Amino acid sequence: MNPFSASVPPNSPRDANAPALATAGTEYQPRLLLVDDEPRLLSSLYELLQGRGFQLTTASTGNEAIAHLSRLQFDLVLLDLRLPDIGGHEIMDFINERGVGADVIVMSGEVGIDAAIGALKRGAYDYLRKPYSREELLKTVANALKQRRLQEANTRIANQLENSEKMYRYLVDSSPDIIYTLNHEGKFTFINDRAYQLLGYKRDELIGQHYSILVHDEDLERARYVFNERRVDERASRNVELRLKCHAGSSQERTFNNTLMTISLNAIGMHVPDHEVKKLEFFGTYGVARDITDRKRAEEVISYQAYHDILTDLPNRILFKDRLGLAVIQAKRKQTELAVMFIDLDRFKLVNDTLGHVKGDELLQQVAARLKECLRKGDTLARQGGDEFTIVLPELRDRDDARAVADKFLECLHLPFDLDGHEVHISASIGIAIYPSHGESIDELLRHADIAMYQVKGQGKNGHAFYDPSMQEVSHQKIALEQSLRRALENGELEMYYQPQIDAIGGRIVGAEALMRWNHPTRGVVSPGEFLPFAEENGLMIPISDWMIGALCRDMLQWQGIGGGGVRLSLNLSPQYLDRGDFFEKMRGALVRHGIAPSQIEVEITENICIRNPQHAIEQLNKLGQLGVSVAIDDFGTGYSSLAYLHRFPVHTVKIDQSFVKEIHDEHGHYPVILAIISIARGLGLGLIAEGVETEAQARYLRANGCLTMQGYLYHRPMPLGRFVDVLREQGAKTGAALAYHA
Ligand code: C2E
Ligand code: CA
Ligand code: CA
């Protein structure tokens, strides 16, 4: 609503359109009241004024005059003082009391000065002695009307001024911006109401104060420049950003952020023209300050999000490249080295697949927090995406510095992570590239750190490596490998090897684990650790597993042909394969087709499979169990699931992981993990196989403590079917039928 509408005076024709002179023919005709009790005088007065552009009304008594005045508005009253009923003075009193806006010219024959004074005291415009001359009367009337018009114009202008002043004041005060003026000393001479609303300072708290009481200390220098603005042209300050302090009292209930306000300032010098000296004299500054706190905050949030990873709150790859770029420039100038690290978590995909994305995200957050702890000031840790992190260590003293940091990273990841009760173990592979010897550009450094990281992955993970040009070759080979794996299936390059499992007491072969090999046309025999992870990633695991089942069944027929019917076959089951709904049907179909007894088959699954989709896994394994296939837990003790599944899943055998077996150096030593696994298996009535048995000491220790089935290089390495058949044949010749290893 416009607050002025009420105070703008009514736009009456009299105000706005009053003519300059009461000449005939103009629209507005002043209204005159002629009062005289002498009929002759009244009519001569009437005649004198008639036809001169006036509206004339006459009255011959005081009562009549008052009646007219009450009814009509007059501009001028020509008033005889002496009237029979009510005197001229009383009529003037009436005019004054009622606020009748008419001017009065008194005409009187009275000689006494009292009458004249009385009339003038009552505000008469003029006093004419009777008899008056015609010219005198006409002139007085014209003057009175002229003065009246001038006065009206004055009032109108005064009103307009007042209104416009009100309006400007309103505009200034309700402006969203702070508007102020400073004098030449930098003290406030004016400031609008907005300052109070935004900063909490009342007008009179600021007037006379130096502007610096409002300005954030760090911005004082910039403020001095703006507030001292003396220029008036384009060079005057425009949109300078400053932070202003809010009033201490008003900020009590506000957050700290609110006590500072970012403003954008426009200031311009004010000068008064000095006519004598003919030059402008500076007398202060006029400025407008706009509150851009919200915009600044929004900008901060946006730029933060553009340069940070939302999940871990770490810098993202864009910011990382930026920091790395700066670090490279610095290192170049100072002729120092710097290190770029590429960290990739091992087995993260497994956590994501088995525990779900929410837990996976949580793990990434925890990892980020731990890595951050290891950093020194000036180092930048960023998330590249997925489970990849990058680090730049500027100003390296030597490579040992980088090595030490990498060791620290690996160590800090070593402790288990707690994901809502799930204990998760994770490690990382770290590749390191050093500026300038491993690359001088950002991209080169990153690429080489990445290649070094892949090298670590390929060599068993959980470690770090510095880039070396020879790795380029390996990394190219990796890519080529991935492509040629697709062709391997079609070209029949895959082959199953068999590693015998030995009964420690009789020394006979009681089973064999099927292990896949890839006869690569140029690289020779490739081990599954090198290509199966690629197969998992590229969706090749399903066709490869399909092929495996067929190959195993065909191979088994050969053993049976030579009397190896009692030898159980263990096959490794990929989690992806177990997850597929039709796995069980495929397995059963193949066994039936080849006439193989399910009791001759054992599937090895890792602990990790069991947590993924437990219900589905239980169903699949139960169906297998009903069919007569047994189930072994592979790599027992290295997974991160609890032991609970041992009750829930139809498990028959536990395989002691080779990492535990490796620990056995002394057959009379004490190896509590092995003992614990053995006692768990015994307690649950499960079979036991130790894998990776390489020494007599290991075999003896295991046997002495109750693990009677062994698999390892001590006995046999994995071998092609032909070799395996030969080995079985030799054994058959020696001892006849083999015994099952189960109790
Ligand atoms: P795994 O199931 O734990 O297999 C045992 C691994 O230990 C085999 O490696 C085997 O060659 C090796 N090994 C056996 N005895 C010894 C020993 O005394 N000392 C040492 N140092 N190592 C020994 P391999 O054949 O390279 O297989 C690696 C992994 O690849 C297997 O681990 C298994 O998880 C997977 N794998 C192998 N074949 C297949 C397969 O046909 N299908 C699936 N899904 N996975 C397979
Ligand atoms: Ca296995
Ligand atoms: Ca194993």
Residue 493: which pLDDT band, with cuts at 50, 70 and 90? very high
Which residue minimizes the CA distance to atom 10 of ligand 1?
718
- For residue 295, the one-letter residue type is R
Q: Ligand 1 centre and the CA of 740: distance in Å?
A: 22
Cα gap 690→693, rounded to integer Å: 7
Closest ligand to residue 573's CA: 1
Q: Ligand 2 centre and the CA of 505: distance in Å?
A: 22
Q: What percent of the chain has pLDDT over 90?
A: 46
pLDDT tens digit sequence for 624-635: 899 999 999 888
Q: Which of 387, 375, 383, 385 is nearest to 427 (CA)?
A: 387
State which of 109-113, 306-310, 533-537, 549-553 shows the largest mean pLDDT. Answer: 549-553
What average pLDDT does this structure show over 432-443? 94
Asked if residue 102 lies in contact with residue 33, where contact means CB atoms within 8 angstroms, the answer is: yes
Asked if residue 274 lies in contact with residue 281, where contact means CB atoms within 8 angstroms, the answer is: yes
pLDDT tens digit sequence for 535-593: 877 678 889 999 999 999 999 998 887 877 789 999 999 887 887 667 888 999 999 99
What single DSSP character describes residue 49? H
Which residue minimizes the CA distance to atom 11 of ligand 1?
718
Single pTM value for the model: 0.47
Q: Ligand 3 centre and the CA of 605: distance in Å?
A: 9
Asked if residue 482 lies in contact with residue 534, where contact means CB atoms within 8 angstroms, the answer is: yes
Say how many Å lie between the first and final Cα of the chain, rounded: 96
Topology adopted by domain 175-299: Beta-Lactamase (3.30.450)
Backbone angles phi, psi at 198, to 5 degrees: -90, -40
Q: Where are the alpha helices (DSSP H) in 459-574?
A: 469-490, 528-537, 541-561
Collapsing DSSP states into helix, strand and coil, what is residue 103? Answer: strand
Q: Which of 355, 356, 345, 352 is nearest to 390 (CA)?
A: 345
Maximum Cα interatomic distance, the chain, rounded to a whole number of Å:
170
Cα gap 77→70, rounded to integer Å: 13
Superfamily of domain 309-467: Reverse transcriptase/Diguanylate cyclase domain (3.30.70.270)
Confidence (pLDDT) at 705? 95
Q: Ligand 1 centre and the CA of 691: distance in Å?
A: 9
Which residue minimizes the CA distance to atom 23 of ligand 1?
692
Cα gap 692→637, rounded to integer Å: 14
Mean pLDDT score across all residues of the chain: 84
Q: Looking at ligand 1, which atom is closest to the CA of residue 694?
A: 18
Q: Looking at ligand 1, which atom is closest to the CA of residue 541?
A: 44
pLDDT tens digit sequence for 699-735: 999 999 999 999 999 999 999 999 999 999 988 766 5
Cα gap 133→120, rounded to integer Å: 20
Residue 273 exposed, middle or buried by CB count within 10 Å (0-12, 13-18, 19+): exposed
Which residue minimizes the CA distance to atom 19 of ligand 1?
692
Contacts of 447 (CB under 8 A, 6+ apart): 439
Q: Looking at ligand 1, which atom is closest to the CA of residue 499?
A: 14
The answer, yes or no, to whether residue 157 has pLDDT greater than 60, is yes
Closest ligand to residue 692's CA: 1
Q: Please choose from 459, 461, 515, 574 the residue to mutate so as to test ligand 1's pocket, defined by most ligand atoms within 8 A of CB.
A: 515
- For residue 429, the one-letter residue type is S
Residue 643: which pLDDT band, with cuts at 50, 70 and 90? low
Q: What is the DSSP string of 643-670?
A: TTHHHHS---EEEEPHHHHHT---TTS-
Asked if residue 478 lies in contact with residue 456, where contact means CB atoms within 8 angstroms, the answer is: no
Q: Ligand 3 centre and the CA of 471: distance in Å?
A: 29
Which residue minimizes the CA distance to atom 13 of ligand 1?
692
Cα gap 104→126, rounded to integer Å: 7
Closest ligand to residue 515's CA: 1
Asked if residue 104 lies in contact with residue 92, where contact means CB atoms within 8 angstroms, the answer is: yes
What average pLDDT does this structure show over 138-156? 92
Q: Which of 85, 47, 53, 44 is nearest to 66 (CA)?
A: 85
Q: Looking at ligand 1, which atom is closest to the CA of residue 573?
A: 44
Please give all residues whose CB falls under 5 A of ion ligand 2, grouped by chain where several chains appear.
572, 604, 634
Q: Ligand 2 centre and the CA of 514: distance in Å?
A: 8
Q: Give the length of the chain.
A: 743
Q: Which residues pair with 463 in a beta bridge?
A: 429
pLDDT tens digit sequence for 66-105: 999 999 999 999 999 888 899 899 999 999 998 888 999 9
What average pLDDT does this structure show over 49-63? 94
Confidence (pLDDT) at 653? 92
Cα gap 332→325, rounded to integer Å: 11
Asked if residue 701 lies in contact with residue 664, where contact means CB atoms within 8 angstroms, the answer is: yes
What average pLDDT does this structure show over 39-46? 93
CB atoms within 10 A of CB 481: 17
Q: Are strands 337-346 and 388-396 parallel, antiparallel or unpaired?
A: antiparallel
Q: Ligand 3 centre and the CA of 611: distance in Å?
A: 18
Q: Ligand 3 centre and the CA of 658: distance in Å?
A: 7
Q: Please choose from 501, 530, 552, 572 the residue to mutate so as to test ligand 1's pocket, defined by most ligand atoms within 8 A of CB.
A: 572
Print burial letters for 522-558: b (CB count within 10 Å at least 16), e (below 16): eeeebebebbbebbbeeebbbebbbbbbebbbebbee
CATH number of 3-157: 3.40.50.2300
Q: Looking at ligand 1, which atom is closest to the CA of residue 574?
A: 44
What single DSSP character describes residue 212? G
Closest ligand to residue 657's CA: 3
Q: Looking at ligand 1, which atom is closest to the CA of residue 655?
A: 3
Q: Ligand 1 centre and the CA of 240: distance in Å?
A: 69
Q: Which residues pair with 337 in a beta bridge?
A: 396
Contacts of 133 (CB under 8 A, 6+ apart): none
Which residue minimizes the CA distance to atom 42 of ligand 1?
572
Query: Two tokens at 39?
Result: 């009929």
Domain limits, the chain: 3-157, 175-299, 309-467, 486-738
Superfamily of domain 486-738: EAL domain (3.20.20.450)
Contacts of 151 (CB under 8 A, 6+ apart): none
What single DSSP character describes residue 456? H
Strand order in the sheet with 178-183: 188-191, 178-183, 279-291, 260-274, 240-245
The answer, yes or no, to whether residue 619 has pLDDT greater than 70, is yes
Closest ligand to residue 544's CA: 1
Residues with CB under 6 A from ligand 1: 499, 514-516, 527-529, 532, 548, 572-574, 604, 634-635, 658, 691-694, 711-713, 718
Q: Which comes out higher in pLDDT, residue 395 or 35?
A: 35
